[in-house]
Structures are given as structure tokens and as C-alpha cells.
A and B are shown apart, each in its own frame.
Chain A
């Protein structure tokens, strides 16, 4: 069992390296092959994971940096099982996309290597069972994206990427300090140990938990992004190449959401309970702000960008309801949103191919006329985005609201408005692109074979999840119940008496 997770972790990077070393023509195909192998491996894990037993499985644990007590510890639990498969799906779709729209610049090998490194880092963050290792992978994720954006990005890329880096690293580096402090303080003068399982046994004092939790929360909220930490988003989204943006919006934001469940709640339960309402206010504000902005912006990309802010607001809300159903819904929504948002990013790029390169809604219109199949596929994704009953998104949002309703009714009422707003911006995107008067520059054509190869697998995943959301919910229930237990315990004991007792330790 030991060897399993290291293989899936390093496979993308290895494939990328191979693509770099072999002739350029082959690079895209090797990259795709690597992505498919990882996908196959992830599906094997899905099938092989013992759902009845639950908990952490396939554990790999070796000492990595002895002096610092950092372990190379990987594992699969109910929290990351489905997210890992989702990651594989999106990276595969992104690899197929390079067949539609080859990254120019004549460096396909470097592109393949960087995407491989990105996938390795993302999966490392998902699988890490050591706090320091998680933080290192979380920070490492960003590095390949720097090069991907600088080499293949839009006209404003240098400025955009710097903004992205400075925003996200403020959070990430403070999180690093928080993580190391956690390990050192938990060791209480002894040898530090950063294994999550060890750290969960010795919770920190209440004051230390406070600032460390806030450091982690800040890092996660910036990465998502959440209002008001989204300053990097408009420039960042506008300048990323499509295959990169799909991965970024679909997966990287989910690492942050996952971080709350995997790290912040189990390790800092007192602080999580103390700051519950603060985080929920941020979540609700994100829902309202994101939706409102998605109504008005003209760039189709940014409609999706702002809708992501809103959708991730829902996910955070579900997690911080500290109610099993809310967190299950949040985890399911993480997968749903990854698939749907990733697919819609590709759809936007395909729309741009039909409007002479413009991604502005005002330049689009009437594209459905020459492309009925494309219109149908787009419509399904739009319905999924607005959480139409019948889709898994509906199930997830319903559960999130149910969980929130049980614990914080006011927040649930406000958040429910967001569901209605989602319908508006999703349909606005669809209608102004596909219907209305035909735009001046529009030259519509049907979905090409390669475009179909990108979208149809994602469509199948959406349909499969709609028919059987239980498949993703089952392991989620096991994972979230473990993740929430510490916080629920603190909450049920009600007051700060328990925290002071723990603080005395």
C-alpha cells in the first residue's frame, strides 16, 4: 500500500519532465497520457477505497526533514477521495484542451512540465497528512502558475501575476508561520512533530489558536477568492491562458475550501467556533457581492470569476455551519463547482473562437443558431451552475442551506437570496451569448470533435453526479463527521470554560 500514493503524486511531474525531454511535437500527447494515467489511478482509488471502514487509508509516512520534524505523510480520506478524482478530471480536460488550442510560443514541453508540476503540487496539498507538508505544497502550487501565466498569459500578464502572487503569498506565508508555530508549541519544548494526527491530540491554547486560525483562514479566503480578498481576481482571471484558468478556478479554490475541513477545523476548534460568525459574514458577503458583480460585468470570463466568489461563499457557509449536512453539501458542491466552472471556462473559450476572439458578452449573441449541440451542452452546464433541481448542485446547495438553517437561521435566509441570484447570472450568460441578435463579429460553427472531447466527459460527470450524488456524498459524510467533531464538541460545551482548560495545557 505504501507505494500507491507516491506514484499518483509524482506521476504528473514525471510525465511533464518526459514531455520536456522528448521532441516538442510529442509533448502534448505525453502530457495527455500522463493526465489519463493519473485519472485511471484516481478512479482505481475511488473503487478501491474501503467506504465501510472510512478514515485514513493508503497511508504513506516517512520522515522527510528530521531536524524540523516534518514528515512526508500522505493519505486518502473521505474528504479528499472525490476531490482527488475531480482534480484528475479537470487536468485531463485541460490536457485535451491543448489539442484544441495549442499553447503557442513553441514551448509545448515547458507547458507540459509546468502543468505536471502544478498537478503534483495540487494533489500533494490534497493528500498531505502533515501540516508543514500541506503548507509547502499549498505554496508550491503557485510557482508553476507564475510561469504559465508569464509565458502564455494575456497582455497584462506581468502585472496580473505579480498581484496574484503578492495577494496569495501574504496569506500563505503567514499560514506557514502559523503552521510552524503550531508544531513548535504543540511539542512544548520537545522535538516538533507536524503530523496532523499528532497535532490534533494536543490542541493549542486559546490565544495561540486565535491568530493561527486567522492566518490559515486568510490564506484560504484569499486563494478562493472571497470578498473582500479578491483584489487579484479580475486581473488574474483576465490574463490566464484558458487551460490554466480552468484548473485554477476549478481546483485551486477547492484546495482552500478543503483546507478549512482538513486543517483549520480539526486543529483549531476553539478559534473556529469563536470566529464562526465572522467567517460566515465573509461567506454571505461573498455570495451577495459575487452575484451582484456577475450581473453586470461584460467579460464572460469575469462572470464566471465573480460567480466563483459567490459559489465558494456557499461552500464556506456550509463548512462553518458546523452541521454535518452543511459540510457534506459543501464538499459535494466543491466537486460540482469544479466540474461545472471548469467546463464553463472552456465554453467561454469556445465562444471566443466563434466571435473573432472577443470574450465580451456584448460582442456575442446568436451563437446557438449555427451550433445546436454546443448550445445544448452549454445549457446543461448553465443549469448546473444555477443549481436547477435535478442537478447535483441543487442537492449540494440544498444541504448547505439546510445545515446553515439549523445552526444560523439569519445567514441561511440571506444566503438563500444567492440561489435566486445565481439563476439570473447563469441565464444572463447563456442567453446573451447564445440567443439575442447575432453579434457583428459572430461566425458560429458547431462543436468540433476536439472541443467535444473536452466538454463531453465533463458533461457525463455532471449527469452522473446528478443521477447518483450519493456516490460523492457517502465518503464525504465520513470525512466531514471526523473533521467537524472537534469544533462541534467545543460548540456543544458552549462556553469558553473548555478552552481555558485546554489553554492551561
Chain B
């Protein structure tokens, strides 16, 4: 409640620089990467810039850890640094570290220059921080845009490839529609309540019993639609497969983990704090969105030929599962969302790692057929991909299973056992697209005839340099894959550390 005070005393707002340190590190790193990216020698551009990005993400993680357990309000109520922010920042920066390693030798970074590429990635992460920490409508929108704009550019980073440009343009248009919808919704919320701060909005709703006010409810509906666009929830998901497929794969990997965490952080804050008094009105809508998202994601992923498209639909389905934790509006539900985000990210990033390795090694790009014979050719990557698929499918002894277990428990405790029963039945469909990938890897025999037939047209269609196959994937990919696969297995057997990590996730939200 420092607002009146700030208005009365004409001094600059008090800024807790230590609390802002993750943001400052990311912004500083982004500027540094941009400057170093101008250096003459190619070696500096291709090697030092990614190192700076790595160090920045590492520094941001260190800053997050140093702030661990704190719960403070920053910049006069604009941002809130609480366990939820810190946990999600850990996921985002962890995703950033992996994405940086994946992008190290990527064509995309070469094509739009390394400085720009990594700088934009760091800026996007900074936007994510603002978004998950925001407790004010205006700040939320700033965060949303700071997150989105760099990603529009990154999606189009392979400037010589039509697919990538198309992805960038599509993402820009759809993303702008989403942003506009959110902004319209915010305007209506402000109009109805006269407040922009989340806690103040909640208080105004209760004081004026606005929970059934048409203006207010229209605002909530617009926000729901806008965030559903951003988090690629059905039926607002149509952009996702195209963008995921067209964007450079390291960017896709980053988006599928970090953007998702940020979007869910924002959704949780807006709905569980600001408009919670109207929970009766919006909860059924979100339940419906969760159901539709699970169906659309799981059915859409069937029969996909491209790994990236399949993973795009799979990430839609997974977002549907995460929503189940969110719609409970309980402390356990938020914990389940956070642990699921952490545990799901491991398998998902591992899958993208192997996809990138195969893109560089074979002429088949991200096709599932590029994985044929992986079991004998590259047994290590084969095991990584296998663990990733089993984890995404939620098989026991993998991280994904423990994430689902936590969701099931939270839903059972929140009287939504039926919803989670629907979840598991729908997740059986997911076996029909995860397991064939595993079968392709291990089935041994290759069918050279079909290989050649499917490989040739792709080569003929693209520009020659876009299809250059370097032949070897790079040691860092193997390293990342092995670490992630090991984490999938370890957290699948000993999940308690993750559950401890997220135990206080909902502390700043005031949920029961």
C-alpha cells in the first residue's frame, strides 16, 4: 500500500537493486552480447558471444539462488519477487542455458549474426522475468511485449529459409492479435475496477461485488483468450505447429520451455490473484479450455512426419495437462504446475537436443525417419531420445511420470479427480505418437529405398546452403542430452528434490 505515499512525496520510487538483479544481469548480458557481436574476428563472434550468453544465464541463475526464499515487492508494486517468480525463472534460465548450447553452432545464429541472436534470446528471457514477476496490468503487458518481440525475430532468424520467415511472420501476426486481445481485456478490467495493481483489483472486485459485472467479465474473457493465444492453448493454438516447425530448432526448444513457463506464471498471477474473487465465473471456462487443449494436442500429434510438428502438438497437449493443475486454484495445484513445468522441461529439451543432432547429421532434417537406425549408429543419443519420449509419455521411472503423479494428487485433493481421469485416458493417445518414435530408433533395419525417396525432394526444394549437412553434431549436444536424460531418470526415481523446490510456490498468492 505504498501508492498514496509515493504520490504525496515527490521523490523517485525506491528501487531494490538486489531484488532486480536477475533482470539486470539478463539486460546487461544482452547489451554485452550485442557489442561483442560487432567484433571483427569470426572466432570471437562465434565462440565468445555464446559464452557471454551462457555466463549471463548462469549469472541470472546465481542471482535467483541468492534471492531464494525471499518475498519482496519491487519498484512500488510493479513486480513481485516471490517463490513462484524464482522457481519459474529457474526453469526459464535453465531452458536458456540449454538453448544457448543447442544454438552454439547453429545455422540460424550464423545467418542473423551471433550478437543479435543471443542478445535477443537474453532480452526475451528478461521479458519473461518481468512477465512472471508482474503484479500490475501495465507491467504485465510490458513483459509480454518484451518477451514476444525478440521471439518474433528469432523465429525468422534463418533469413534464407522460407519456412523460417513464414514462421516469424505468422508468429508476429498471431502474437500481435493475442497481445491486442490481452490489452483490450486489461483496459476493460481497469475500466471496471479503476485499478491496475493485482491486489487492488481483487480488493475492488470484492468491495464493489463486481464478480458478475458485464464489463468486468468481458475483460476477463478477453484476457483468457489473449493468454490462450500466447500459451498456445486450443482452440487458439493453430499457429503453434507452423511456428515450431519453421523456427530454428534451438529457438523452438527455448520457446517450448521458457515461454510456456512464463505464460503460465502470468496466467497464475492474473487469475489466482487479481480476478480470484470471480473464480466461479472463469473456472469452468478454463476447465473447458484444458479439455479441448488435451484433445486437440493429442489428436493433432498423431501421424505427424516431422518431429518438430509432433513436439509442437505434444507441447499443446502438455499445456493442457498443466492447465489441470491451474484450474484447481489451490496451493497444491500451483505446486503441481511448477513441478510439472520443471519435470516436463527435461524430457522436452532432451527431445529437441536429439532432433538438432539429427538435423546436422542427416539430410532428412527433423523428420521422424531421420531417427531410423539411431540405436545402432548413435546409441547414446538413442537412449537420450528414448528417455525423452518415455518421460513425455509419462511412463514410470521417468520425470514425466512424477509430474503427472503430482498433478493427479493435486486434482484428487481438489475434487477434480474426474478431470485427471480424462487426462490419463487422453494421455494414452499420446502413446500412439511417442512410442513409434522409440520403435523407429530401435527397430534396427533401415529401409534404404524409402529413405532416398523421401530425402530427395527436400534437398531439391531448398537453397543449397540451407541444406548443408555438417555431418557431425558437436560434443555439446551429446553432453546436454546425456545430462538431461540422466536428470529424467534421477528425478523419475527420486523426485523429492523437485517437490521440495516447488513446495513454497504458491506462498505469495494466498491460496488455500
Interface residues of A, Cβ cutoff 8 Å to B: 65-68, 105, 132, 136-137, 139-140, 142-143, 146-147, 150-151, 158, 161-162, 165-166, 169-170, 173-174, 176-177, 180-181, 183-185, 192
- What is the interface of chain B mostly: helix, strand, loop, or mixed? helix
Chain A residues lying within 8 Å of B412, measured Cβ to Cβ, are 177, 180-181, 183-185
Give the interface size class of chain B.
20 to 34
- Indicate if B421 sits at the interface (CB-CB under 8 A): yes
Contact B431 A166, beta carbon cutoff 8 Å: yes
Chain A residues lying within 8 Å of B436, measured Cβ to Cβ, are 158, 162
Contact A150 B408, beta carbon cutoff 8 Å: no
A65 to B397: give the CA distance in the assembly, Å.
13
A55 to B428: give the CA distance in the assembly, Å.
37
Name the residue among A105, A150, A165 with the largest chain B CB count within 10 angstroms. Answer: A150
Smallest Cβ distance from A147 to chain B, in angstroms?
Answer: 6
Chain B residues lying within 8 Å of A183, measured Cβ to Cβ, are 409, 412
Smallest Cβ distance from B301 to chain A, in angstroms?
Answer: 14
With contacts A65-B495, A173-B425 known, is A143 near B438, CB below 8 A? no
Sampled A-B contacts (17; CB under 8 Å) = A67-B496, A67-B499, A68-B405, A68-B406, A137-B396, A146-B438, A150-B439, A158-B439, A165-B435, A173-B424, A174-B424, A174-B425, A176-B408, A177-B408, A177-B421, A177-B424, A184-B409
Q: Which of B425, B428, B443 touches A151 (beta carbons < 8 Å)?
A: B443
Q: Which of A65, A137, A161 touches B435 (beta carbons < 8 Å)?
A: A161
Chain B residue nearest to A150 (CB atoms) is B439
A165 to B395: give the CA distance in the assembly, Å.
11
- Indicate if B86 sits at the interface (CB-CB under 8 A): no
Smallest Cβ distance from B139 to chain A, in angstroms?
Answer: 32
A139 to B492: give the CA distance in the assembly, Å.
13
**Given A65-B402, A150-B443, 18 new contacts (CB under 8 A):** A65-B495, A65-B496, A67-B406, A67-B496, A67-B499, A67-B503, A136-B396, A142-B395, A143-B396, A150-B442, A151-B442, A165-B431, A165-B435, A174-B424, A174-B425, A180-B412, A181-B417, A192-B409
Contact B442 A177, beta carbon cutoff 8 Å: no
With contacts A68-B409, A143-B390 known, is A169 near B431, CB below 8 A? yes
A289 to B439: give the CA distance in the assembly, Å.
33
Q: Which of B456-480 contact A (CB under 8 A)?
A: none
A293 to B500: give the CA distance in the assembly, Å.
54
Chain A residues lying within 8 Å of B401, measured Cβ to Cβ, are 136, 139
Contact B443 A173, beta carbon cutoff 8 Å: no
- What is the interface of chain A mostly: helix, strand, loop, or mixed? helix
Q: Which of B416-464 contact A (CB under 8 A)?
A: 417, 420-421, 424-425, 427-429, 431-432, 435-436, 438-439, 442-444
Chain B residues lying within 8 Å of A147, measured Cβ to Cβ, are 438, 442
Smallest Cβ distance from B383 to chain A, in angstroms?
Answer: 10
Chain A residues lying within 8 Å of B435, measured Cβ to Cβ, are 146, 161-162, 165
Q: Which of A150, A174, A181 touches B438 (beta carbons < 8 Å)?
A: A150
A132 to B401: give the CA distance in the assembly, Å.
12
* Contact digits for B376-409, partner A, Cβ 8 Å, 1 yes 0 no: 0000000000000010000111000110011011
Chain B residue nearest to A185 (CB atoms) is B412
- Indicate if B15 sits at the interface (CB-CB under 8 A): no
Q: Which of A67, A68, A170, A181 touches B425 (beta carbons < 8 Å)?
A: A170
Name the residue among A158, A170, A180 with the largest chain B CB count within 10 angstroms. Answer: A180
- Indicate if B511 sits at the interface (CB-CB under 8 A): no
Contact A176 B503, beta carbon cutoff 8 Å: no
A176 to B406: give the CA distance in the assembly, Å.
12
A183 to B442: give the CA distance in the assembly, Å.
38
- Indicate if B279 sits at the interface (CB-CB under 8 A): no
Contact B428 A170, beta carbon cutoff 8 Å: yes
Chain A residues lying within 8 Å of B409, measured Cβ to Cβ, are 68, 180, 183-184, 192
Chain B residues lying within 8 Å of A65, measured Cβ to Cβ, are 402, 495-496, 499
- Indicate if B18 sits at the interface (CB-CB under 8 A): no
Q: Which of A136, A158, A162 touches B431 (beta carbons < 8 Å)?
A: A162
Chain B residue nearest to A117 (CB atoms) is B397
Chain B residues lying within 8 Å of A177, measured Cβ to Cβ, are 408, 412, 417, 420-421, 424
Q: Which of A132, A158, A162 touches B443 (beta carbons < 8 Å)?
A: A158
Q: Which of B429, B431, B496 touches A66 (beta carbons < 8 Å)?
A: B496
- Indicate if B413 sits at the interface (CB-CB under 8 A): yes
Smallest Cβ distance from A193 to chain B, in angstroms?
Answer: 12
Smallest Cβ distance from B398 to chain A, in angstroms?
Answer: 9
Smallest Cβ distance from B389 to chain A, in angstroms?
Answer: 11
Contact A139 B396, beta carbon cutoff 8 Å: yes
Smallest Cβ distance from A20 to chain B, in angstroms?
Answer: 11
Contact A173 B428, beta carbon cutoff 8 Å: yes
A185 to B402: give the CA distance in the assembly, Å.
20
10 A-B pairs closest in CB distance: A173-B424, A67-B499, A140-B396, A184-B412, A181-B412, A180-B408, A139-B396, A150-B439, A136-B396, A181-B417
